[in-house]
């Protein structure tokens, strides 16, 4: 049998242990409140017929609070290159700057090489690997998803979605792709409406960028015409020189 003093000491020790556990819980709760989870957004790219459409919502959420409803998360880097991001805004802008520098370094070679080079740096660089964001990059020929794991994922059907509501938008867009009379932009907008109705971190303040895929053929035809005209002019000048001689 324990003496009264021993029992009192045991109760005091148990009370101290309970208080320490309570303090630990309170501390962990306060730390969560002081640094709430940053939730993503929804970015969707749809490629159909002669049009590529990339669309994103404008909501920025910090925990359960909507910080900004009209952020621009879809941007045009070049006349024929568009990109969208989900995740931390500061991290995404850092990655976009790196992507632009690589596009400049490999100008005229499309987006495949720049995306691969960025993914390699993102995976191996000690600073970049801490950045928390996902990029969706598209041009007239390709659509890629870039992640911090070194992934460069390509769409198999011309449709890709990222962010907290990306799966909803992707499923809706795939369901609508074969509907006759619906273009890429119409499909993208409808799919984003579905995602915004299901994902609490996605709103209806959409930002849209569209690329006309026929422009490349038209530019190629114009360049071909210019080359042919230049050759004809050179031939005419050569003939004139020969006649003068």
Q: Is the separation of the CB atoms in 210 and 51 below 8 Å? A: yes
Per-residue pLDDT reduced to its tens digit, 85-130: 998 888 888 889 999 999 999 998 899 999 999 998 888 888 887 8
Confidence band, pLDDT 50/70/90 cuts, at residue 29: very low
Does 89 qualify as catalytic in the annotation? Answer: no
Tens of pLDDT along 120-179?
A: 888 888 888 788 888 999 999 999 999 888 889 998 899 999 999 999 999 999 999 999
Characterize 106-137 residue by residue with b for buried, 16 or more Cβ atoms within 10 angstroms of its Cβ, and e for exposed.
Answer: eeeeebbebbbbbbebbeeeeebeebebbbbb
Q: Check residue 216 and give its pLDDT.
A: 57
Annotated catalytic residue, options 41, 42, 51, 83: 41
- Predicted model pTM: 0.72
Indicate if the alpha-carbon torsion angle 100, 101, 104, 110 is positive or negative. negative
Q: What is the DSSP letter of 93?
A: H
3-state helix/strand/coil string of 177-229: CCCCCCCHHHHHHHHHHHHHHHCCCCCCCCEEEEEECHHHHHHHHHHHHHHHH
How far is 191 from 178, CA to CA, in rounded Å? 13
């Amino acid at each position: 049998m324990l003496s009264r003093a021993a029992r009192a000491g045991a109760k005091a020790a148990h009370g101290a242990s309970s208080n320490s556990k309570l303090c630990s819980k309170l501390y962990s709760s306060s730390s969560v409140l002081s640094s709430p989870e940053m939730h993503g957004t929804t970015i969707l790219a749809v490629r159909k017929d002669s049009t590529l459409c990339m669309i994103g919502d404008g909501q920025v959420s910090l925990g359960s609070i909507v910080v900004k409803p009209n952020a621009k998360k879809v941007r045009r880097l070049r006349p024929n290159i568009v990109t969208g991001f989900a995740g931390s805004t500061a991290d995404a802008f850092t990655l976009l700057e790196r992507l632009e520098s690589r596009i400049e370094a490999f100008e005229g070679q499309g987006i495949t090489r720049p995306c691969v080079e960025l993914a390699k740096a993102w995976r191996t660089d000690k600073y970049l690997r801490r950045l928390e964001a996902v990029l969706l990059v598209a041009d007239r020929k390709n659509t890629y998803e870039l992640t911090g794991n070194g992934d460069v994922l390509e769409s198999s059907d011309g449709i890709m979605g990222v962010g907290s509501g990306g799966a909803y938008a992707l499923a809706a867009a795939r369901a609508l792709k074969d509907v006759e009379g619906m273009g890429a932009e119409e499909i993208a907008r409808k799919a984003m409406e579905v995602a915004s109705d299901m994902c609490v971190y996605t709103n209806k303040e959409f930002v849209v960028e569209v690329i006309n895929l026929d422009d490349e053929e038209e530019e190629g035809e114009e360049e071909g015409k210019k080359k042919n005209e230049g050759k004809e002019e050179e031939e005419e000048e050569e003939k004139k020189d020969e006649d003068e001689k």
